[in-house]
Amino acid sequence: MDPSILPWRLIRRVVLYARRYYFSIAKPTGVPMIALEGVTISDLTNVLEGAHFEDGWELSYREQGEALNARRPSGTAAVKDVKHLQQQEHVRVWKTEGGLELHPHREVSPLSRRPDFHVRDIGLDKPEGVHRLKPVLEDAFGADAVTVSNMPSASAASGE
């Protein structure tokens, strides 16, 4: 069958509909996050696309109220006893009264040879996602527009 004759727009709409109604979860609270003041979704989308992020809707659960969901490949890493697993940086975005709230994280890619790690959050690193995305945002919008919160303390992160 010739894939060019498939109704791709319709297929995408069906997938997004199913995602909305069958694969939605509540927005997480108390997680490492970045607040952007005075920034629009359009402005952020342009910056993320310039930093090689792409639409991440089809490959993830929908967290209620999301305004943007983007991901980019992020090299490889050893996770558990598996070497060279594909990683991704993933960011979910919500609109706020004064701007945007971002929840970035680094994780095993669902396209890796161990997608089960992705689903079970094995190798998920939220602080690392913040550390990697923050400089991109500061370069684009200025340090005054970027506020980080809910990061673990150094002693908590090291297990002390």
What are the tens digits of pLDDT across the range 122-148? 999 999 999 999 999 999 999 999 999
Q: Specify the CATH number of the domain 26-157.
A: 3.30.530
**1-50 pLDDT, tens digit each:** 787 887 877 866 776 666 566 656 678 788 999 999 999 999 999 999 99
Report in angstroms the alpha-carbon separations of 29 from 11, 64, 108, 122, 134.
32, 12, 22, 20, 19
Would you list the DSSP string of 36-82? EET--HHHHHHHHHHTT-EE-GGGSPEETT-SEEEEEEEEEEEETTE
Could you tell me the two tokens for 156? 């908590």
Look at the alpha carbons of 151, 127, 154, 37 in this order and tell me if their dihedral is positive or negative: negative
Q: Give the residue carrying structure tokens 């945002």.
A: 137
**79-103 pLDDT, tens digit each:** 998 999 999 999 999 999 999 999 9
Per-residue pLDDT band for 159 (boundaries 50, 70, 90) equals very low
Distance between CA atoms of 156 and 135, rounded to whole angstroms? 23
Residue pair 89/74 in contact (Cβ under 8 Å)? The answer is yes
CB count in 10 Å sphere of residue 154: 8
Tell me, what's the pLDDT at 7?
82
pTM over 0.85: no
Tell me, what's the pLDDT at 61?
58
Distance between CA atoms of 60 and 119, rounded to whole angstroms? 9
Amino acid at 112: S
Report in angstroms the alpha-carbon separations of 117 from 62, 75, 123.
18, 16, 7
